[in-house]
Amino acid sequence: MIDPIYSLSGFFVGLLVGMTGVGGGALMTPLLILLFGVHPATAVGSDLLYAAVTKTGGSLVHGLARSIDWRVVRRLATGSIPATVVTLAVLSHFNLNGDAARGLITLVLSFALFLTAIALVFGNALVRFYRARVPETETERIAICTVLVGALLGLLVSVSSVGAGAIGVVALVVLYPRLPIARIVGSDIAHAVPLTLIAGIGHWMMGSVDWHIIVSLLAGSLPGIVIGSYSAVRVPERALRLVLAATLFVVASRMVYEHVTEPSSIIAAFSHRAAP
């Protein structure tokens, strides 16, 4: 049941995730689509359940270290869970194995990859710029903004499996400047567990999950994450993040070039849904 090629890919992705903390979806989903030729819907659905398992392990570690702010997790989930359910309901009206779904998922995935690349390179600068020019926000407004961020993450993750990592962390750093970075990362990972699990189950019910891929990826990525976590202190994180950001930018650009140049299938799908 375990494909060594998938496991090897999972190992290298897990290694990079352990070193940089970047969400596996930003690396794994494009890898499945571009390198292995997996349909985007299947790649997203399989990666969501794969992420639910890996992030559960990370959440347990942060929970034991008491580096999770459950107030932040609840606020994020208040926005992300309903957004995920609504997004899955909309996706269920499409043939996920068809060209329309391929184009839609590719568009959202490319957008999420561009955002992740920007967050990796300019995240710290954007946070400093924001803090220097925007006064401290009221508590009630912070709570509302957190719910809205959760809703955006629910939409992005449900369609593309990308967004719960670098994008979520940067948003939380902006909203909670006094919260230690360890608690921000822990809260983001804890929130990603129910988000990816619910979205993954939704994709499974729609038939866009390949368990063979999931098992093979987990067999390689779990030891990769452990080794990467121990190696993180010996590798210049800034250089790795720049390389990853450049890679994501190139991958997203290639996906846009290959699929967005022919959007007729998406337009036709929406026209067909709107027809009486």
**Sole residue written with tokens 């709107």:** 274
Q: Measured over all CA atoms, what is the biggest interatomic distance in the chain, rounded to whole angstroms?
A: 62
Long-range contacts of 253-259 (CB under 8 A, 24+ apart): 253/110, 254/34, 255/30, 255/33, 255/34, 255/106, 255/109, 255/110, 255/113, 256/106, 256/107, 256/110, 258/106, 259/102, 259/103, 259/106, 259/107
Of 151 and 221, the structure prediction assigns the larger pLDDT to 151
- Are 255 and 33 within 8 A, CB to CB? yes
- Are 221 and 23 within 8 A, CB to CB? no
- 39: closest CA among 95, 91, 93, 97? 97
Amino acid symbol at 153: L
Q: How far is CA 161 from CA 92, 197, 198, 275, in A?
A: 16, 11, 12, 30
The structural domain count of the chain equals 1
| pLDDT tens sequence across 243-266 | 777 777 877 787 777 665 554 444
Q: How confident is the model at residue 73 (pLDDT cuts 50, 70, 90)?
A: very high
DSSP state at residue 135: P
Residue 30 has pLDDT above 60, yes or no: yes
Rounded-to-10 torsion of CA 200, 25, 55, 201: 0
- 154-158, 167-171, 204-208: segment of lowest average pLDDT: 167-171
| pLDDT tens sequence across 219-238 | 988 888 778 767 655 666 67
Within the chain, residue ranges assigned H as helices are 4-20, 24-34, 40-64, 70-91, 99-133, 139-160, 166-175, 181-205, 211-231, 237-255, 264-274
**Full domain range(s) for residue 78:** 4-274
- Looking at residue 233, what is its pLDDT? 57
